[in-house]
């Protein structure tokens, strides 16, 4: 159960009442750094108040117009003193669709980075969830334009230039993201460099699935064909839904991809 003081703060956040929230937080020192038990599992088990400015996961499907002022009030009430809270909020903002759809994603990214958030910690969540405007904003704020960034955004020339110096973990992540986002040229580059198409994706990049699952679920036919021709197993079962790549394609309505995998 969420404590009453925290719930009232959350209600003020949802209403976009920055002044009211600032007064409430001033009357309850420490509330801006308090964490609550919110979910039994998943990535939102013990959020702080600042995490709710992202609306990720979506509770209401929208953010109030004054959400940047609301976030400022929470930061000034003490949340900025805890780097883990500020970094967590940045990752949620950068990887969530509601902040983007509400037109405040970039403004929130800038605010949180101004208050000490590390843009590097949010780059992979943004890329893994296809939030490319957020990823660009994070790079502008100092996040490293890594091989994973090049792979996810289809920058083939940059990927070639970065490949030799990239670590094994970076290459693993890059294959997962290139497959998920349909960049066949970069997938081929990574396979040529020795990446295993049958390895499950790394943590933070949909680790319950393989590159072929992600490509099939997104309907990227060229990548699916490439992976299958280069030895990707078609019978691999993902660790979350218990499906094969063909099952993912069928579930997502990509009948051409599903038919191809059936023929194989």
State the CATH number of the domain containing residue 242: 1.25.40.20
| CATH number where 122 lies | 1.25.40
Residues 125 and 94 sit within 8 Å (Cβ to Cβ): yes
Residue 191, domain extent: 150-263
Q: Which of 86, 100, 95 is nearest to 127 (CA)?
A: 95
Residues 90 and 122 in one domain: yes
Tens of pLDDT, residues 93-149: 999 999 999 999 999 999 999 999 999 999 999 999 999 999 999 999 999 999 999
Choosing from 98, 123, 144, the residue where a domain stops is: 144
Number of domains in the chain: 2
One domain, residues 130 and 173? no
174 with 106, same domain: the answer is no
- Determine the length of the chain: 264
Residue 103: per-residue pLDDT: 97
pTM given for the model = 0.94
How far apart (Å, rounded) are the C-alpha atoms in residues 85 and 26?
A: 18
For residues 128 and 68, state if they share a domain.
Answer: yes
| Structure confidence at residue 39 (pLDDT) | 76
Give 58-75 pLDDT, tens digit per residue.
999 999 999 999 999 999
- Are 165 and 206 in a shared domain? yes
* Span 155-209, pLDDT tens digits: 999 999 999 999 999 999 999 999 999 999 999 999 999 999 999 999 999 999 9
Which residues, 6 or more positions from 129, have their beta carbon under 8 angstroms from its beta carbon? 95, 96, 97
What are the tokens at 243? 């499906």
In the block, which residue shows the tokens 């099952």? 247
pLDDT at 234 over 80: yes
| Residue 60: count of CB within 10 angstroms of its CB | 9
């Amino acid at each position: 159960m969420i404590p009453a003081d925290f719930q009232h703060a959350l209600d003020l956040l949802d209403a976009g009442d920055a002044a009211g929230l600032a007064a409430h937080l001033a009357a309850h020192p420490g509330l801006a750094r308090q964490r609550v038990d919110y979910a039994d599992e998943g990535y939102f088990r013990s959020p702080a108040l600042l995490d709710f400015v992202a609306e990720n996961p979506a509770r209401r499907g929208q953010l109030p117009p004054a959400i940047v002022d609301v976030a400022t009030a929470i930061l000034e009430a003490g949340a900025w003193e805890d780097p883990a809270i500020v970094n967590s909020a940045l990752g949620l903002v950068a990887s969530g669709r509601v902040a983007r759809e509400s037109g405040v994603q970039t403004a929130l990214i800038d605010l949180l980075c101004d208050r000490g958030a590390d843009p590097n910690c949010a780059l992979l969540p943004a890329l893994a969830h296809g939030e490319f405007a957020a990823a660009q904003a994070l790079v502008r704020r100092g996040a490293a334009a890594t091989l994973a960034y090049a792979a996810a955004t289809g920058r083939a020339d940059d990927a070639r230039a970065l490949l030799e110096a990239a670590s094994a973990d970076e290459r693993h992540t890059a294959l997962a993201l290139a497959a998920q986002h349909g960049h066949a040229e970069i997938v081929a580059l990574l396979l040529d460099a020795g990446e295993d198409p049958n390895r499950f994706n790394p943590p933070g990049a949909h680790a319950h699935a393989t590159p072929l699952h992600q490509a099939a679920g997104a309907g990227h036919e060229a990548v699916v064909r490439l992976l299958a021709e280069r030895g990707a197993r078609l019978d691999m079962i993902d660790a979350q839904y218990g499906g094969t790549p063909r099952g993912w394609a069928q579930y997502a309505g990509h009948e051409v991809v599903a038919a191809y995998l059936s023929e194989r």
